[in-house]
Amino acid sequence: MPPDKVAEYADGLCYTDLMAGYYLGAPDEVLQAIADYSAWFFVWDDRHDRDVVHGRVKAWRQLRFRLHAALDAPAEHLHHRDPLVAGLADSAGRLFSFLPGTWGARFTRHFHAVIEAYDREFRNRLEGRVPGVDEYLALRRLTFAHWIWTDLLEPSAGCELPDPVRKHPAYRRAAVLSQEFAAWYNDLCSLPKEIAGDEVHNLGISLITHEGLTLEEAVEELRRRVEECISEFLVVEQDVLRLADRLDDGTVHGKELGAAVRTCLANMRNWFSSVYWFHHESGRYMVDSWDDRSTPPYVNNEAAGEK
Confidence band of 301 (pLDDT split at 50, 70, 90): low
Of 198 and 74, more confident: 74
pLDDT tens string 135-192: 999 999 999 999 999 999 999 999 999 999 999 999 999 999 999 999 999 999 999 8
Type of residue found at 52: V
Whether residue 269 lies in the annotated active site: no
Residue among 111, 144, 233, 278 flagged as catalytic:
144
Whether residue 41 lies in the annotated active site: yes
Cα three-residue angle 117-139-284, rounded to 5 degrees? 80
pLDDT tens string 77-127: 999 999 999 999 999 999 999 999 999 999 999 999 999 999 999 999 999
In this structure, the number of other CB atoms found within 10 A of the CB of residue 151 comes to: 23
> What gap in Å lies between CA 256 and CA 264, rounded to an integer?
12
> What gap in Å lies between CA 35 and CA 152, rounded to an integer?
11
For the CA atoms of 168, 171, 174, 180, the dihedral, rounded to the nearest 10 degrees, stands at -60
pLDDT tens string 209-245: 999 999 999 999 999 999 999 999 999 999 999 999 9
pLDDT tens string 272-281: 999 999 999 9
* pLDDT (0 to 100) of residue 300: 64
pLDDT tops 70 at residue 283: yes
Whether residue 262 lies in the annotated active site: no
In this structure, the number of other CB atoms found within 10 A of the CB of residue 247 comes to: 23
Rg of the chain (C-alpha set): 20
pLDDT tops 50 at residue 198: yes
* pLDDT (0 to 100) of residue 175: 98
Whether residue 278 lies in the annotated active site: no
> What gap in Å lies between CA 11 and CA 32, rounded to an integer?
15
**Which residue pairs, CB below 8 angstroms and at least 24 apart, start in 288-295?**
288/192, 292/196, 293/192, 293/193, 293/196, 293/197, 294/193, 294/196, 294/197, 294/198, 295/197
Closest residue by Cα to residue 286 from 219, 189, 194: 189
Using the Cα atoms of residue 200, residue 202, residue 204 and residue 209 in order, give the sign of their dihedral: positive
The model's pTM: 0.93
> What gap in Å lies between CA 307 and CA 290, rounded to an integer?
20
> What gap in Å lies between CA 211 and CA 234, rounded to an integer?
29
Confidence band of 304 (pLDDT split at 50, 70, 90): very low
Query: Phi-psi category of 79—alpha, beta or left, where left has phi over 0 and alpha has psi -120 to 50?
Result: alpha
